[in-house]
Amino acid sequence: MEKVNVQLGAAHQGSEATLSRAEDFKEKGNDALKAFKFPLAVEMYTTAISLIPTAIYYSNRAAAHIKMESYGLALEDASESIKIDPSYIKAYYRRASANLPLGHLKDALRDYRTVVKMKPTSAEAKSKMKLCEQLIRQAAFAEAIQSERHRPLSETIDVSAMVVDSSYDGPHLPETPPSTEFITDVLDHFKRGKLLHRKYVLQILLSMKSMLQALPSLLRIPLGSDAQAHITVCGDTHGEVKHKYDDVVMNLFSEVFNWLPLAACIESKVLVVHGGLFHQDNVTLADIEKIDRNREPPESGTLLVRSHEVKDEGYLVEHDEKCITVFSAPNYCDQMGNKGAYIRFYRDLKPRFTQFTAVVCHYFL
């Protein structure tokens, strides 16, 4: 193995041949990043790091992790980049860019201020710094007015007092359970780029909350004796709720989703988890059933939330076919180019995969 002399605080040095190979992999990583092939970019930067672990390579890999929304990994890489070269400005910017979506506002603000100090002409860094300052003020204000006896949003909404204005030309939610005809009308309404009335959206969400509250944290699903019985598993939910409606609807969505079961167990043999795998061994189904799930997923503690992973083919089977990752959002963020997929389990419990590609979205205004 080639020996590389490392000087603390400086970029690691190696032979010219090793440096050249590392640079080649870095350039391949850059090309992959520009082409939105983020997993490939991570792979190329990782190879470059294995040859010569420099601040630039770690920072570039952090950028790829940010694109994949793997913010924890991005934090580690950006911090390592700063450790190698404390003067490398991009590493501070990328660490801040990873902290911001995680809600680590003070940490993000500190790094954005460092970037502005190092490069006062950076308009983008100044804009992000001001955004952090604004969010911190908003959080402090919200905390100041927050009552310890604050009621859930769902208890403050009175849908019976809401009026559907006469200008609304979409389907009306019936008093009785909706028919398939109503569902067809709603889909047709959406395809024409229109929205369901806000009152009906809130009614549906409140009904969803009632149903989810009745479910246990661990949902046990028997498929019965019917040979055709099956369950479909999808791995991602996303939309433009806040864009279409308002903060009230978005916050009610969040409240409802807090009641989603944490896991489902099919025929006592297949475990389907909503958040990811556990950070410790020997976790039992009984342990899952004891968890109070009415909360936002924590970053650490009883639950481990694994960042959702985009898969080029929509799914990936690993670990001797004992672990499956499924991702149902095709062309994620309108730029990844990935397929979406879902799984169906029948009585034999063998997964059947269905892949699909993205279609033009009619829902943006």
pLDDT (0 to 100) of residue 223: 60
C-beta separation of 133 from 109 below 8 A = yes
pLDDT at 220: 66
Map residue 140 onto helix, strand or coil: helix
The per-residue pLDDT for 128 is 94
pLDDT band, residue 361 (cuts 50/70/90): low
pLDDT at position 182 over 60: yes
- Lowest-pLDDT range of 84-88, 127-131, 279-283, 361-365: 361-365
Higher pLDDT, 298 or 133: 133
- The C-alpha angle with vertex 303 and arms to 302 and 307, in degrees rounded to 5, equals 150
Percent of residues, the chain, with pLDDT higher than 70: 78
Q: So what's the pLDDT on residue 29?
A: 96
d(CA 37, CA 6): 31
Report pLDDT for 13.
55
Nearest to 74, CA basis, from 107, 104, 97, 54: 97
* Cα 56 from chain centroid (whole Å): 26
- Residue 254, Cβ density class (10 Å: 0-12 exposed, 13-18 middle, ≥19 buried): exposed
What proportion of the chain, given as a percentage, has pLDDT over 90?
30
More confident residue, 302 or 228: 228
Q: For the residues 113-140, what does the mean pLDDT come to? A: 92
CA 175-207-297 angle, 5° bins:
165
Instruction: Name the most confidently modeled range: 46-50, 211-215, 312-316, 359-363.
Output: 46-50
pLDDT of residue 82: 97
Given its phi and psi angles, is residue 314 left (phi above 0), alpha (psi -120 to 50 degrees) or beta? Answer: left
Q: What is the pLDDT of residues 265-321, one digit of tens each?
A: 887 778 777 656 666 778 888 887 887 766 655 554 433 333 357 788 888 887 777
- Separation CA 121–CA 144 (nearest Å): 35
- pLDDT at residue 235 is higher than 50: no
| E strand segments, 280-359 | 315-318, 323-326, 340-345, 351-356
pLDDT score at 233 = 47
User: For residue 337, what pLDDT band results from cuts at 50, 70 and 90?
Assistant: confident
Question: Given this model, what pLDDT does residue 144 score?
Answer: 66
d(CA 38, CA 230): 34
Distance CA 246, CA 224 (A): 42
Task: For residues 92 and 89, give the distance between their C-alpha atoms in angstroms, rounded to a whole number.
Answer: 5
Can you list the domains of the chain with their CATH numbers?
16-145 (1.25.40.10), 151-214 (no CATH), 217-365 (3.60.21.10)
Tell me the pLDDT tens digit for each residue of 26-43. 999 999 999 999 999 999
Global pTM reads 0.53
Whats the size of the chain, residue-wise? 365
Written as one string, the DSSP assignment of 262-282 is SEEEETTTEEEESS---SSS-
Average pLDDT of the chain to the nearest whole number:
79
Q: Which residue has the tokens 């950006």?
A: 78
Beta bridge partners of 341: 355
Sheet holding 231-233, edge to edge: 231-233, 340-345, 351-356
In the predicted structure, residue 124 carries a pLDDT above the cut 90: yes
pLDDT in tens, 91-111: 999 999 999 988 899 999 999
Q: What is the pLDDT of residue 28?
A: 96
Which tokens in the block code for residue 120?
């006062």
Contact 261, 221 (CB under 8 A): no
Higher-pLDDT residue of 7, 116: 116
Cα Dmax for the chain: 77
